[in-house]
Amino acid sequence: MAKGGVPRIESADERRGLAARVSRASLFKGSVAVVGALTGAAVGGAELAASAASGGSAATDREVLTYGLLIERLQSAFYAAALAGGQLTGEARQFAQVVGAEEQAHVKYLTAALGASAGASPRFRFGDSATDPTKFIATAISLEETGLGVYNGQAVSLTPKTLAAAARIVSVEARHAAWARALAGKDPAPVAVDVPIPVAQAKQTFQPFIVQ
Amino acid sequence: MPGSDHLSLKVDDFDVDGAVREAFERMPQHTRAGFLGRTLVAGAAALGAAVAWPTAASAARDSSDITILNFALSLEYLQASFYTEADQIGALRGALAHQATVVGMHERAHVKAFKELLGPAAIKEPTFNFHGVTENPDAFRSTAVAFEDLATAAYKEQAPLIKSKSYLAGALAIHSVEARHAAWIRRLAGFLPAAHAFDDPLSDAKVVEIVNSTHFVTLKEPQTSMEAKPRFTG
């Protein structure tokens, strides 16, 4: 944990709740990261300009960390479900234990950072995506890669202090993604630069696991 | 920005042959300003992947960002040279050899991206001597673990100090790849790929201290003035 404890995200509109905030969709659209591997998706000029125009703020920090918390809660629940399923063995089981514990630590950290605005966790349902050993690895790769891509995309919009805190989580997510890929027999680092993932795209990955 | 004096000190640490300082001192003031504000786009793909540095944030380009980018370039030179040498020597086998080949490709792509971005302000590549580490699989493995964890920690420290949003995006996109490299080689070395829930940053001073302690970075040719004068024997 950070030496100074958990950074508390404060802002004037903290008590005004959701209504006072910029809609998440427009906020995230404006903060898509601007790097693309030439082998992967490049980001368009409009998004680039929007990115350059937006600046960090406590409200943005909270938006980003709130989505980060959802990702961490989902990942944490996924590994708990996988371990509860009892079908994992060997390194896959070790991976679920180690990574699951780290995602739990991230949940705790972000919950504390967000304070009252953290809200309650949604419920998740993974079915055999978590318990079938082959599906488990594939789903872990998807969740970790998507989580990392979102963090990388959103981190550019954070204030420096919150970025410093988030970066300590981001590289751990990258390690998780690399480890999951290794378990699937894939190169842990497939490209020289990690392509950010827009939140809209990430939602398609996460939504099937969230109980409405 | 706080600590810009502190950061300029760090350039000297890595600017082993004074190339960066010289480049700046040679430029007239107005050229220097124009140079700093110049837009650089790395357009061409090389080695399979490259960072596409965007043009939009060129206005935010400033000297402290250049210092940070050069610091990153120094670390990338070190890593690229290390993996390239290991690859060329060919003493590694199997999964380790594959790791060296793929990661070496990435580090060279990072070098190329930073060099294109920095243009004439790019620090020159120092010469390295890995003292046989690249010829010995065990030594290679543990050195690679140290390098990758070090690079991850270094980028993590520098990222919040970057002013330009597009350079920040680029640094973050490389930061997480360094973390992947760390996880990859840690697994091959029998360590947990992700040993902690939170990765710690490392100050530039500490990074420099660690790199210097390896004695992998050697100075270029001795300065003429420091060489013994040739003796006339006739």
Q: Annotate A165-206 with DSSP letters as a single string.
A: HHHHHHHHHHHHHHHHHHHTTS-SS-SSSPPP--HHHHHHHH
Q: Residue B155: inside a domain, yes or no?
A: yes
Q: Is A160 on the interface with B (CB under 8 A)?
A: yes
B232 inside domain? no
In the prediction, which pLDDT does A14 show? 36
What pLDDT is recorded for position B39? 22
Per-residue pLDDT of B153-167, as tens digits, reads: 999 999 999 999 989
Taking only residues 105 to 164 of chain B, the set having a beta carbon closer than 8 angstroms to any beta carbon of chain A reads: 105-106, 109-110, 113, 152, 156, 159-161
Tokens of A203: 């939602």
pLDDT digits (tens, 9 = 90+) for B170-196: 999 999 999 999 999 999 999 999 999
Domain that holds residue B216: 4-35+58-220
* Tokens linked to A11: 């802002």
Tell me the CA distances in angstroms from A39 to A181, A190, B60, one per residue in order.
19, 11, 27
Report the pLDDT value the prediction gives residue B35, as an integer from 0 to 100: 27
| Interface contact B183-A49, CB threshold 8 A | no
Measured between CB atoms, does A61 come within 8 Å of chain B? no
Q: Residue B19: its pLDDT value, please? A: 38
CATH number at residue B177: 1.20.1260
Name the residue of chain A whose CA is nearest to B99's CA: A187
Residue A174 has pLDDT above 50, yes or no: yes
Tell me what pLDDT residue B45 has: 24
Counted across chains A and B, CB pairs separated by less than 8 A come out at 196
Mean predicted confidence (pLDDT) in B33-43:
25
Task: Examine the pLDDT at B24 and tell me if it is beyond 70.
Answer: no
Q: Mind telling me how many Å the CA of B193 is from chain A's nearest CA?
A: 6
- ipTM of the complex as predicted: 0.79
Q: Give the distance from CA A204 to its chain's centroid.
A: 14
Mean pLDDT, residues B139-162 taken together: 96
Would you call B92 an interface residue with chain A, using a CB distance cutoff of 8 Å? no
Which residues does B198 contact at the CB level (< 8 Å), separation at least 6?
Answer: A1, A2, A105, A109, A168, A169, A172
Q: Which residues of A touch B60 (CB under 8 A)?
A: 52
- Assigned domain for B226 exists: no
Question: How many Cα neighbours within 13 Å face the side chain of B59?
Answer: 4
Whether the CB-CB separation of A51 and B56 falls below 8 Å is answered with: yes
Q: Does A150 touch chain B (CB under 8 A)?
A: no
* Percentage, residues of chain B above pLDDT 70: 67
Facing A191 at nearest CB: one of B49, B160, B172? B49
| For chain A, percent of residues with pLDDT exceeding 90 | 73
> What is the SS3 assignment for B192?
coil
Q: Is B176 on the interface with A (CB under 8 A)?
A: yes
What residues of chain B lie within 8 A of the CB of A51, using their CB?
56, 165-166, 169
Q: Which residues of B touch A61 (CB under 8 A)?
A: none
Nearest to A188 among B60, B166, B183 (CB): B183
Interface of A with B in 167-196 (CB under 8 A): 167-179, 182, 187-189, 191-196
Task: Spell out which residues of chain A touch residue B110, defining contact as CB-CB under 8 Å.
Answer: 192
Q: Which has the higher per-residue pLDDT, B21 or A110?
A: A110
Amino acid identity at A8: R
Structural domain contains residue B11: yes
User: What band does A64 get if pLDDT is binned at 50, 70 and 90?
Assistant: very high
Q: Cα torsion for B212, B217, B223, B229, to the nearest 10°?
A: 100
Q: What mean pLDDT is reported for chain A?
A: 80
Selecting from B56, B187, B197 the residue whose C-beta is nearest the C-beta of A102 gives B197
Architecture of domain A58-117+125-211: Up-down Bundle (1.20)
d(CA B94, CA B149): 22
Residue B169 has its nearest CB partner, among A34, A177, A187, at A34
Whole-number pLDDT of residue A212:
81
Please give the average per-residue pLDDT across A160-189, as a whole number. Answer: 98
Nearest to B38 by CA among B59, B24, B56, B11: B59
| A194 pLDDT higher than 80 | yes
pLDDT at res. A9: 53
Across the range A147-169, mean pLDDT stands at: 96
- The domain total for chain B is 1
In this predicted structure, what is the pLDDT of residue A56? 82
Q: Which residue has the higher pLDDT, B25 or A207?
A: A207
B203 φ/ψ angles, rounded to the nearest 5 degrees: -65, 155
Which 4-43 residues of chain B touch chain A by CB within 8 A? none
Mean of all residue pLDDT scores within chain B: 75
Say what the pLDDT of residue B185 is: 98
Chain B residues within an 8 Å CB radius of A148: 176
Residue of B nearest to A40 (CA): B49
